């Protein structure tokens, strides 16, 4: 079965850049999206189709996807960005797969 692997945790100082990776076999051949989940809340879509932001998502969130790795970048990280982040991919062969999740801590 297809798997997406993320680092368990990422720490970042306020105002700095946080990068969260998502690794999977030929992930770049598929589109990746990213979800943010704060404690006790439902996930929220922050990036879809590799690098598109839904309405209402701040510009500091950006995404890229190439080769075997998709990356979510949070520029100028704020305290409110502290959350768990999950990548997800789809295609007709793997259906829907979520990553293992990354906890982002703002120091």
Partner 1 sequence: QITLKESGPTLVKPTQTLTLTCTFSGFSLSKSGVGVGWIRQPPGKALEWLTVIYWDDDKRYSPSLKSRLTITKDTSKNQVVLTMTNMDPVDTATYYCTHLLYSSTWYFNYWGQGTLVTVSS
**Interface with partner 1 by CB under 8 A: which range of 11-19, 20-28, 35-43, 68-76?**
35-43
The C-alpha atoms of residue 81 and residue 89 are separated, in whole angstroms, by 22
**Interface with partner 1 by CB under 8 A: which range of 11-19, 26-34, 56-64, 67-75?**
26-34
Q: Does 24 bind partner 1 (CB under 8 A)?
A: no
Q: Which of 18, 20, 33, 106 binds partner 1 (CB under 8 A)?
A: 33
Using CB atoms within 10 Å of the CB of residue 64, give its burial: 0 to 12 exposed, 13 to 18 middle, 19+ buried: middle
**Judged by CB, which is closer to partner 1: 37, or 75?**
37
Dihedral over Cα of 47, 51, 56, 57: its sign = positive
């Amino acid at each position: 079965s297809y798997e997406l692997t993320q680092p368990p945790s990422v720490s970042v100082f306020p105002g700095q850049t946080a990068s969260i990776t998502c690794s999977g076999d030929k992930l770049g051949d598929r589109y990746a999206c990213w979800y943010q989940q704060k404690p006790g809340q439902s996930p929220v879509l922050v990036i879809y189709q590799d690098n598109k932001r839904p309405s209402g998502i701040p510009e500091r969130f950006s995404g890229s996807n190439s080769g075997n790795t998709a990356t979510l970048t949070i520029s100028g990280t704020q305290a409110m960005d502290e959350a768990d982040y999950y990548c997800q991919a789809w295609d007709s062969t793997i259906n829907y797969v979520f990553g293992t999740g990354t906890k982002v801590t703002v120091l």
